[in-house]
Structure 1
Amino acid sequence: MDQDKVQIIVAEIDKWRRSKLLPEHYCDFLMNLYMDEREVEGPSVLGISQKAVSNSNWKTWMSIIAITGIISFIGLHFTSFSFWMQTGVLAVLAVTLYLVGAAQRVKQPLVSCLCFGGASGILLLGGIYLLHLREAGTVPLVFVVALCGMIWILTGIAAKFPVFHFAGWLLLLLIYAFVLRHNITDIDWIGVELSWVPLSLVLCWLAWLLHHVNKQISAVFFLTGVLCWFGGELYGFVWTGLDKDVLQLLLGAKLAVGGGVLFALRKKWVEWVM
């Protein structure tokens, strides 16, 4: 059977196992059957088997060499390109990686994850680099980073990769902290807590609200909410001159309260994320 079809069937069997659509021993039998057939193809790296390499023709090799040469040329001469050409190259590369990642989402999850990661990195670092060239200032930089965060969130949700969804929220939280730092210079510990605790409660409420719809999304909201619960202390340590002893006391108190609530409601929230 074709290698791609086998991989799709194996992925489906794994879904049946997780969703309890078939008994465990049936899933094991089917998995062993198709895994044995896949092993006939020989060892593989990122889904490329020995047989595929051995039976490849000269056109495939020439295409790989040509693509590698083009990428190398662009990389070596990138800084000598004009601003708009650099923008176009980065945009094409990011879009291509996103499309490849989407195309390989089911067949090659690892390749898909690497493509999404590369595209997301290009989007963020490339955007910062281009803004630095134009000396655009703080506001455009904040806008670009926030936009990257939202794209990462949408990518994580659409591709069902929670790590990108969570990484997008981390970017947005960094932007939130940055905006607080530059707009509220004289802040006390009450202001710090009011800046983060309500956000934490809203995110945890959204996790509860969405757990019937999508548990992956719910889990990310819940984890982000827990992070925001301690966001005030992290923000206070890094970006304010507040008394460290007070922040340490607050951190200890919130650890006790948060831990107690999580323990008391463990039978509730565990259903949101698992």
Structure 2
Amino acid sequence: MRGEPVILEKREIILREIQYWRRSKLLPEQYCDFLTNLYNDDKEIKDSNPVSLKNLGQGSVKVWLFGFGIISLIFLISLYFSVFPWPLQLATALCVLVVCYGYAALYRDRNLVISLMLAGVGSVLTLGFGLWMISLHKLDPDLWRPALIAFCGLLWCVLGFTLRIGLLQYCGYAFWALLYAGFFGDKRPDASMLELELLWLPLCVLMIWLSWLLHHRVAGVSGVFLGVGVSLWLMPEIDALWLRQDYPDWVPLLLIGKVAVGLALLFIFRKKWITWVAS
């Protein structure tokens, strides 16, 4: 009888592992069902997702009270954030972000959907809290908005790499590209198309080269770098259309032509870059 709790604990570990295989598509669905039925004596799979309908239906009063407390806290912060002193505002924002990103890391291997949702909420709140505090305290937007963009870009790049969330990492590089475009837009507002091509295309080549260089060395970054490089391929024309005023009339045609060339190159070299991304 002493070994029975150990056996039950091992069975629970095996069942959780099977659920992870099911969510991650590591095994076909029918194999997961077979293994679950083999190890599960209760004929009922415990769902590790705390917000699933099954767990909410079977949840205790404590679960619902906890949810009520979280929702009330969100409304409380939303209503009274503006009257907090700025140290408390900063501490509140940091606590919320730590909770979001911390639980995103915690659920990364247990429930990918919840992890992505929490990371997305944390990212939106990072930008939202920053813009809100700049507006509340009437800070110089020409200084603090670029600083916020730089901070968000760096934070998302680091967290995207750490949590293995490619989209978050891509958004970080996109914010740095936005900062880069804004800086040179102020310095050279009348830049020619040749200057814009020389401004962006070397970065495009650099990111694609890094995608090739790191696909065997660092997991999870090759696809991000390739996506950033492909986006930078179109940035000269996007820069001219969105950030410049007196752009030539043929720029939209050039953009369409570069889209066609880019798709053709992706098709021709599809076996190579798919290998990079999949590695």
TM-score normalised according to structure 1 size: 0.83
Please name the residue that 1:173 is paired with: 177
Task: Determine if contact 2:223/2:276 at 8 Å carries over to the other structure.
Answer: yes
8 Å contact from structure 2 (residues 93, 129) kept in 1: yes
Match of 2:33 in 1: 32
Alignment pair present for 1:209 and 2:213: yes
Equivalent position amino acid for 1:6 in 2: L
Shift of 1:60: 4.1
Partner amino acid, structure 1, of 2:99:
T
> Of 10, 13, 19, which residue of structure 1 is paired with 2:19?
10
Residue deviations 1:192-237, cap 9 Å, x none? 1111111111110011111113453111111110111010001111
Unaligned regions of 5+ residues in structure 1, if any? Answer: 18-23
Mapping of 1:15-94 within 5 angstroms? 17=26, 30-34=31-35, 40-41=44-45, 48=52, 50=54, 53-54=57-58, 56=60, 58-94=61-97
8 A Cα contact 2:18 2:36, kept in partner: no
The Cα shift of 1:263 comes to 3.1
1:119 is aligned to 2:122: yes
Name 1:268's counterpart in structure 2: 272
The correspondence for 2:105, drawn from 73, 78, 102, is: 102
| Aligned equivalents of 2:184, 2:263: Cα separation in 1 | 27
Once the two structures are TM-superposed, the CA of residue 88 in structure 1 deviates from its matched residue by 1.4
Identity of aligned pairs, percent?
25
- Judged with a 3 Å threshold, the aligned counterparts in structure 2 of structure 1 residues 171 and 6 are, in CA distance, closer, same or farther, namely farther
Aligned CA distance change for structure 1 residues 268 and 73 (closer, same or farther; 3 Å): closer
Deviation of residue 67 (structure 1)? 3.9
| TM-score w.r.t. length of structure 2 | 0.82
Letter in 2 for 1:70: L
Unpaired stretches in structure 2, ≥5 consecutive residues:
1-7
The structure-2 alpha-carbon separation of the partners of 1:16 and 1:72, relative to structure 1 and needing over 3 Å to count, comes to closer
- For the 8 Å contact 1:8–1:107, the answer to whether it is kept is no
Deviation (angstroms), 1:9: 3.1
Partner SS for 2:110: coil
Write the letter of the residue equivalent to 1:132.
S
- How much has 1:5 moved relative to structure 2? 6.1
SS of alignment partner, residue 216 of structure 1: coil
CA deviations on 1:8-33 (whole Å, 9 max, x unpaired) are 4332466683xxxxxx6xx5554123
Q: In the TM superposition, what whole-angstrom CA distance separates every residue of 1:233-260 from its partner, at most 9, and x where no partner exists?
A: 0111111234443313432443344334
Select between 27-36 and 212-221 the one with higher mean Cα deviation. 27-36
The Cα of 1:34 is off from its aligned counterpart by: 4.7
**Whole-angstrom distance in 1 between the partners of 2:17 and 2:85:** 44
Please say which of residues 179-188 and 260-269 is displaced more in the overlay.
260-269
> Matches of 2:199 and 2:121 in 1, distance apart?
33
Shift of 1:124: 1.1
Kindly indicate whether residue 223 of structure 2 is the aligned counterpart of residue 219 of structure 1: yes
Instruction: Indicate if the aligned counterparts of 1:215 and 1:272 stay in contact, CA closer than 8 A.
Output: no
Residue identity in the other structure for 1:259: L
SS of structure 1 residue aligned to 2:145: helix
Does the aligned pair in 2 maintain the 1:104–1:112 contact within 8 Å? yes
Which amino acid letter does the alignment assign opposite residue 210 of structure 1? L
